[in-house]
Every structure is written in C-alpha cells, then in structure tokens.
Amino acid sequence: MLRVHNTLTRSKEEFKPLEEKKVKMFVCGPTVYDYTHIGHAKSYIAFDVIARYLRYRGYDVFYLQNITDIEDRLIKRANEVGKTCKELASEFTQKYHDDMRDLNVSSVDKYENATDYIPQIIEQIQGLAEKGYAYEIDDGVYFDVSRFDEYGKLAHRTFEDIMKDERVSRIEPNPQKMNPIDFSLWKSKKPDEPSWDSPWGEGRPGWHIEDTAISITCFGPQYDIHGGGEDLIFPHHEAEIAQAEAFTGKVPFVKYWLHNRFLRVEGQKMSKSLGNYITARDAINKHGPEIVRFFFSFNPYYRPIDYAEDKIEEAKEKLQKIRNTTENLQILLERKGEGEETVVDDLVGETRQKLIESMDDNFNTAAALAVIFDYVRKINDHIRKSEVDKKGAIKLLDLSSEFEGIFGVKFVLKREKGLSLKQEQLIKEREEARRAKDWKKADEIRKKLKAQGIILEDSQTGTAWKRVK
C-alpha cells in the first residue's frame, strides 16, 4: 500500500487518487531568469523519481509543470542585460530544458508558460472579484485574505498569527490594502515592464495566480498531487489554495501536497555571497550527469541534503559497485559454461518486493538503495559460488534495468567488446599455461594484460576479461 506524507494534514496517508489509477500531478517549475542551480536539480529529480515510480506501480500519470516567464526578478534581470523579458525567458527556458535532459528528468508530460494563460488569469480574477474575494487599488488587484476563512491551513498558521509576522506584512506593501498580507492578482503597468490589456487597465499577472490558472485549465478544479520546494509552502502554495477554492468552490483544491526539503553546500546555505552557489551545469560538467542524478535520486525528497564533495565521491563509488556487478553478469553471458541450477528466481522476487515496500513508504529512496545493495551483494556471492547460469544472469540484468526505469540512473552499461588479436592470443596462451600448471607464465601474461588496461577473472566456468575503470 502506497503511503505519502501530506503537508496539508502533516501525516502519512494512504495514496488514493481522485480517479482510480489516474494521477494528475503539478510541480512548480522554474522562474527562467537565471541558470538552474543544484537546489532546483534536487527538487526536479526527486519529483521525476516520484512520477516514474507511480507509473511503475500502474498509475496513469499526467505530470504538468509550469514555466514562470513573467515575474519581478525576470523583469529586473532583462532590464539589466538589455533584453526583452521574452528573449531572456526563452534563453533560460532552453538552458533549463538542456539541464533536465542531461539529468534524465524525462517524466514531465507538458510544460506550460505563464504568459500563454493571460485570458484564463483574467477570467479567474474577474470570478474572484464577483465573489467578493478581490478588490482594486491604485497599483492593481489584490486578494482579500480575510474573506478566506481557511487561509493558513497548509502552513498550519492562523490568520492572526500571520498578521503578526512582520516579514509577511512587508510583502507588496501598500497602505491601501485591506490587510497587509493580501497578495496581488494583477499588477498595474510600470515603466519598462511588459503588459497586457485587462478590465483593470494594462498590467501583468501576480505570481500566485499564474499557477492556479494553468492547473485549473489543464486539470479542472481539483487534482491529486502538487509538489514543490518547502520554501513555497507559504505564501505561494497557500495563495494557490485560497485562489482556487474561492474561485471554484471545490475543496480540497489539491488532495496531496508534497514538499521537497532544502539543500545545503558543505554544511552552509547556498548563496552567491558565500561563493558556494553551484549551478546544475557546473555540477554536470564536474561530476557527470549520472553521478549527480544518482546522488539526488537516492536522497529522499523529504530529507534535507548536504551537497559535499566527499558525499558526491561516495555516490560515485556506490554507482560503480552496482555497475561492476551488472558487468559481471554480462561476463557470464559471454562464457561457454552454463553453471549450476540457480536461486535467481527467489532473489528477483524478494528484491522486487522489498524495493516496492521501501518506495511505498513515502518514496523512501534511501531504503530502496539499501535493498539494491543487498541485491548486489547476493548476486556477487552467487556468482562466486557458480550458482548463476546464463538464464539467471539475464533475469538479474532485466531486474537491474527495471530499477533503471524507476530511478533514471543507468545501472547496466553496454559492455565494451573487442580485444586486439594479440590480446586474444595472450589470453589463449595463458589458458594453456594454466592447464600446464605453468603459474609463472600465467601470472606474467596477467600482468602484461593489466598494463594494457585488461583485467582477467578466473572461475570454474572459465576466464573473463574486463577493462580497467
């Protein structure tokens, strides 16, 4: 039974989508004014694994992600570099897609730009105004938070508590606002800003209404999963709930809220001022996309991560151990001997079940990795005892490939084939020397091949070779 931790209820719940075996999933995408950083990579890889696992468990998942291509930071950056907002957003949207492609984040079905939903945004603001939730002042249209009785339910804060928070009261300050914490739905046009016509004059949408317009248009008034970073719980996701439930009258807007925890770098908060700001592209170029993907895939989304060089190196070693084992299985397929009867069927069944149990517990990828390493240990033990034949090797490789589909990491690499004629001759000469018990010659040939990057492994079923990693 799949259980997920729901931020809305602060409890782990059985996962039951609104429609049997169909899942509508929305994750807040990037604001495309800068490069994707590793905090973004952590989040998007985590939700990619979640979507992949849901599909693995037989759910029909439609995964939607927005692209925020109009927002204060984007406007500011565009003006600084002398580009239009559209030009800057297009440039960094492409860079974002490039990063996600290299990190194998491939589960998103549809990306939607906020600026493509201006008519829907205007329609929703008009609907909120008609129902008494929105009002206009000199710099735009705002949502009257005091009218929505349940404002604060996602963050588990009362209206009174929020009103006392000076940090929140500084959001979009304007003495004309009915409440200091009211948030903008439509911003009146300012110099050097893009704008669109509306019933309230030229302007642009507020940040929160962009996501609500996209999700309601694509999914309807209610859907199953909304994901994002924990920094978005308040006020962004809180505002989405207020807007949507006030506009549609349907409760709950989203059934399950999943929030990805923060990332730190070498124990510190990541920031440009500290000089530890790392883009996804920096990490990919330094460590390779597979290592970055592995590192984030097997750190559960609900745990904070410390991105440190020693931990990245540890991830690299773990991935290599898994790949070494799958290469050993491929070597078995190249040998002539069939081996003995195997316990492979039991191992495959038990491992699959244990991995499902781990992932069914709120997508616990750390526990899943422990299952995979126990699987690797048992495979190597069976290989040493010559208990894996060719059919068994194929079954074990198939299960490894099955896990690749869930975690998006390549565990089974295409084995390099082909030795030079001289190297093949040396292996034959060594086999003859071993049959003649000329161990000195056999050892000399082994050392000679090792110097050429070829490692030999002997077993009861014959001799196999590997290239040095």
Average pLDDT over residues 326-345: 74
Per-position DSSP letters for 134-146, written without gaps between them: EEEETTEEEE-GG
- Calculate ∠ Cα 153-155-161, nearest 5°: 85
The model's confidence at residue 449, banded by pLDDT at 50, 70 and 90, is confident
Q: In terms of pLDDT, which residue wins out, 456 or 248?
A: 248
- Residue 440: the pLDDT is 80
- Would you say how long the chain is, in residues? 469
- Residue 341: the pLDDT is 54
Least confident of 44-53, 122-131, 430-439: 430-439
- Residue 331: the pLDDT is 81
Residue 101 has pLDDT above 80, yes or no: yes
Residue 213 has pLDDT above 60, yes or no: yes
- Which residues, 6 or more positions from 393, have their beta carbon under 8 angstroms from its beta carbon? 329, 330, 332, 333
- Residue 455: the pLDDT is 79
- Residue 98: the pLDDT is 97
For 176, counting Cβ atoms within 10 Å of its Cβ (0-12 exposed, 13-18 middle, 19+ buried), the class is: exposed
Q: Among positive and negative, which fits the CA dihedral 211, 213, 217, 220?
A: positive
Give the position of tokens 């602060």.
10
Residue pLDDT, tens place only, 274-317: 888 999 999 999 999 999 999 999 999 999 999 999 999 999 99
User: Residue 307 forms beta bridges with which residues?
Assistant: 265
- Residue 30: the pLDDT is 97
Residue pLDDT, tens place only, 46-61: 999 999 999 999 999 9
Residue pLDDT, tens place only, 173-210: 899 999 999 999 999 999 999 999 999 999 999 999 99
Residue pLDDT, tens place only, 381-436: 998 888 888 889 999 999 999 999 999 999 998 876 656 666 767 777 787 777 77
Q: How far is CA 443 from the centre of its chain?
A: 48
Residue 448 has pLDDT above 90, yes or no: no
Spatial strand order in the sheet of 110-113: 110-113, 60-67, 22-27, 223-229, 254-260
- Residue 468: the pLDDT is 64
Per-position DSSP letters for 457-469, written without gaps between them: EEETTEEEEEE--
